[in-house]
Every structure is written in C-alpha cells, then in structure tokens.
C-alpha cells in the first residue's frame, strides 16, 4: 500500500473536482488525505454540478471560472490565483468589492465587458486595490478613472492597446514592474511627449501593428531593458529596417542582451539570403540568431532562434 506522503504528491496533479469525485467516496483514508491537502485548483463552468466539490472551496488556491452565472467568493477564503473568462458586469463589480480576494497574487480576466465596472476594476488593479497582486493579464485596459500606484505588480499583459496613454500610465502606476506584454497592439498611436523612465522593467514583448517611430518612443522609456521580443509585419526595406533597429538599440538600450523577432515581409527570398550576414553584423543581438524561411504568395518569414 502506498504511503500517505506519496499519495499526497500524486494528488497534487489532480483538480479538486477530480479528487472529491474519484477518491473522496472510497474510504476514510482517502477522505482524510484529500481533506489534508492545503492548496487545490478548481475549474468551474456553468454546466457542471459542484457537489461534493464544495467541501474543497476553503482550500482552493487556484480558481478558474468560465461563464458561471452565480458565485460566492466568501466560500473561497484562500484564493491566490483567479482566472475568469467572460464575467458579467455585475461580476466585475463583485471582483473588486470582495474582501476575500485581498490576498490575490495572480489575476487573469478575458472577454471583459466594456462598462464602467470594468474601468473601476482597472483602477483597483493599478491603484493597489489588490496589495499582494504580482501578475495580471487583461484583454484591454480602460483609463477612465484616476490611478495611483500598485507597487506589488511585477508582470502585466494587455491583450489590446491602442493608446500611448495606457502604456505610460502602466509604467507610472507599476514602479516595480519587470515584465510587460502587449499581446496585440492595434495601430498604437504614440506621441513624442512620453517622458517617463522606468528603470525596473527588464522584459518587453510587443506584437501587432506599430511604426518604427512608436518603437523608438516606447524603448526610450525603458533604458534598463535586457530582453525584447517583437512580432509584426515589416513594410520598409528590410536592410533599412534592421539598421534603424540597430541604431535604436545602441541609443536607448545599452543593456539589451537578447532580441527575439518574428517578422513577415513581402520580398524575394533569394535576395534576403544574400544580405543575411550583413544584417547579423548590424548589432550583437542579431549575430547568429536570424533565420529566413520562404512562405507562399511572395512572403518571407524572418525570425530568431
């Protein structure tokens, strides 16, 4: 018979639902093992029955919710990580008003409604409403209300950003931020008036439609960046584009150690192969990392390995 310590280690790989439905009914030994587990993870959907899983609620550390109409956070007194897909407007208000989420360390919300309640939640996130929050993933950010600061935040991911004001306010409200991720940038418009400098941000991930001018303005705010990852379509001549990137890195990013990219480019594959070595000599971060792959319809993929 397996010792309890080994069974506890095995049980860590199962969700609270699986444990309470598969093991809990077996016998007293398994019930005591399941009841002794200090941290559980649970996924709740609207079409599932939650009995007898409700017994685990006080020990759920990681909770994922998808299209659940009603939920009482007072039953979940130990939540440290919350992922919510498609919350309603009322549920958005419930998140920022619940005292049971005070110790939240990670928060991910997808398909948020575009309402004042969402804007108010964003204000709470970036104004220390969750004083232990270290990582936050949002599909968009609304700056309708005034923010202060959230010193605990270390990593922020924004699904869609189209205003330089949001970028600047995130930097100002998160002085200890070390990673910033814009998963999609929809024609971001930046002004030359960005004057903030963020010395703690070390890793930046950009994806979408962004001009070289905007790249310059963004990177000028991040002098201590050591890692940069970008993914978008290049419309300028490739050699000119890489020369511009090299100049930008030399001017604004003296500590840059690693640059990863994935560019789509309309051009002749054979011509790019000829200038590949020239591109790699433009900056140390390009050396021995660039790869070129021929795609259909005259397109070429330039990426790093």
Residue 156, beta-bridge partner list: 136, 180
DSSP characters over 206-270:
EEE---HHHHHHHHTT-TT--EEEEEEEE-S-HHHHHHHHHHHHHHH-TT--EEEEEEEEES-HH
Alpha-carbon distance of 129 to 59, in angstroms, equals: 23
List the chain pLDDT tens, one digit each, 305 residues: 445 555 555 556 566 566 666 555 554 445 555 555 566 768 887 756 555 555 567 778 889 898 887 888 888 788 899 999 999 998 898 888 777 788 899 999 999 998 999 999 999 999 999 999 999 999 999 888 999 999 999 999 998 887 778 889 999 999 999 999 987 655 565 666 677 899 999 999 999 878 888 899 899 999 999 999 999 999 999 999 999 999 999 999 999 999 999 999 999 999 999 999 999 999 999 998 899 999 999 999 999 98
8 Å CB contact between 200 and 178: yes
Give the integer Cα–Cα distance in Å for 144 and 226: 32
- What lies within 8 Å, CB to CB, of 41 at 6+ separation is 15, 16, 60, 61, 62, 63, 64
Query: Cα–chain-centroid distance for residue 206?
Result: 11
**Residue 100 is encoded by which pair of tokens?**
């049971």
- Cα(120)–Cα(100) distance, rounded to whole angstroms? 18
Cα gap 39→72, rounded to integer Å: 19
Query: How many residues are listed for the chain in this entry?
Result: 305
CA dist 161 and 200 (Å) reads 21
Give, as one character, the DSSP assignment of residue 20.
I
Q: What structural domains and CATH numbers belong to the chain?
A: 39-260 (3.80.10)
Q: What is the pTM of this model?
A: 0.86
């Amino acid at each position: 018979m397996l010792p309890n310590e080994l069974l506890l280690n095995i049980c860590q790989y199962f969700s609270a639902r699986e444990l309470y439905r598969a093991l809990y009914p077996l016998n007293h030994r398994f019930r005591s093992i399941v009841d002794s587990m200090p941290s559980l993870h649970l996924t709740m959907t609207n079409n599932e029955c939650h009995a007898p899983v409700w017994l685990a609620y006080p020990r759920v550390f990681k909770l994922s919710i998808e299209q659940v109409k009603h939920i009482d956070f007072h039953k979940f007194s130990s939540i440290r990580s919350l992922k919510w897909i498609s919350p309603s407007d009322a549920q958005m208000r419930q998140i920022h008003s619940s005292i049971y989420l005070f110790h939240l360390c990670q928060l991910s919300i997808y398909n948020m409604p575009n309402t004042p309640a969402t804007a108010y939640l964003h204000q709470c996130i970036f104004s220390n409403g969750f004083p232990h929050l270290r990582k936050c993933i949002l599909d968009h950010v609304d700056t309708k209300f005034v923010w202060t600061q959230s010193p605990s935040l270390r990593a922020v991911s924004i699904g869609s950003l189209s205003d330089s004001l949001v970028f600047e306010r995130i930097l100002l409200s998160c002085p200890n931020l070390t990673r910033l991720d814009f998963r999609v940038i929809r024609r971001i418009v930046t002004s030359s008036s960005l004057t903030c400098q963020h010395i703690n941000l070390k890793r930046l991930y950009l994806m979408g439609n962004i001009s070289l001018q905007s790249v310059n303005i963004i990177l000028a705010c991040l002098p201590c960046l050591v890692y940069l990852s970008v993914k978008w379509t290049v419309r300028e001549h490739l050699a000119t584009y890489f020369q511009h990137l090299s100049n930008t890195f030399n001017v604004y990013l003296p500590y840059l150690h690693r640059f990863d990219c994935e560019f789509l480019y309309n051009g002749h594959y054979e011509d790019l192969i000829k200038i590949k070595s020239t591109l790699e000599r433009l900056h140390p971060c390009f050396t021995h990392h660039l790869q070129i792959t021929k795609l259909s319809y005259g397109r070429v993929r330039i990426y790093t390995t």
